[in-house]
Amino acid sequence: MIRPFYLAWAVLLSSLPALTQQNQSPGPCPATEQAVLDVGHKLWTTYRNRDVAAYDKLVDDSFMSTDDGGVRKGKQDILAELSKPEGNIHNETDEQPADIRLVFTNGVAILNATKHWTDYDKKAGNSWGGTSVITRVFTCKNGEWKLVVFHETGIPNKNRQPSTGAIDHLDDYVGHYRFGEKGEISVVRTGDKLFETWPGDEPVEILPGKYDTFFTRQDGWVESFVRDKSGKVTGILYTYADGEIEAKRMP
């Protein structure tokens, strides 16, 4: 599926050469991985220290960000947040990115990498975390790299640990399920593992969560096996973002 975001991203990248032609720098920015990573580390440090003045100098005035929840913010939004005391949630991320991909093109540097993050709820005393793919686009102005675009996409279930409580009743879920008029899903057991097959696809292992829920390493869908009053599994409810798909168990 081609999502609207990809079209918007393509339009944004096509406009970046024009952006770099404005306020041309007296000299080119160093087109090296280390130079870009150094700016990225300064951004991490200044953001962590809530240093508004230093962060302001590293970010272009036309800056736009989109977080993993789809929330868009501009430069002034970020600076306003940093100028306030930290709230109830404290965020920590890896100091250095991993799995780095870097491209220099048309006067911009596009950095794509992964980072692990953890959020701490200071009142409740608990925490949660995940791994995201981040994309940063830097434009060259006055001989320095400036951050102009930030985008974050969460990697679903990268390090999530399966629950061991479902092993004793894996047979409950085995069977064939129907969605729509002709769609058929099969769930089979191999040893202590469950594999699910959708029409035209290869079998995928589904990993147990809590209370009849399962997940995969391939996507962010959550599936919940539905039971009737007697406790028998009668279907599967798949949920993702704004969508729900229900499959009924076949006799």
> What pLDDT is recorded for position 5?
40
Give yes or no for a contact between 177 and 236, defined as CB atoms under 8 angstroms apart.
Answer: yes
The count of domains in the chain is 2
Residue at a domain's end among 127, 155, 183: 155
Q: Tokens in use for 52?
A: 């508004």
- 38 and 81 together in one domain: yes
- 178 and 138 together in one domain: no
- Domain of 121: which CATH number? 3.10.450.50
Pick the closest to residue 212 from 229, 199, 198, 231 (CA basis): 231
Pick the closest to residue 169 from 233, 230, 229 (CA basis): 233
Note down the domain range covering 105: 4-155
Q: Which helix (H) or strand (E) holds 133?
A: strand 126-141
> What pLDDT is recorded for position 157?
86
Tell me how far apart the 2 most distant CA atoms of the chain are, in Å: 76
> What pLDDT is recorded for position 20?
43
Global pTM? Answer: 0.75
- 151 and 171 together in one domain: no
Show the low-confidence residues of the chain (pLDDT under 70): 1-27
Give yes or no for a contact between 47 and 82, defined as CB atoms under 8 angstroms apart.
Answer: yes
Residue 226 CB partners (closer than 8 Å, separation 6+): 212, 233, 234, 235, 236, 237, 246
> What pLDDT is recorded for position 16?
52
Q: What is the dihedral of CA 211, 214, 215, 221, to 10 degrees?
A: -90
Asked, for residue 221, whether it belongs to a domain, the answer is yes
Asked, for residue 160, whether it belongs to a domain, the answer is no
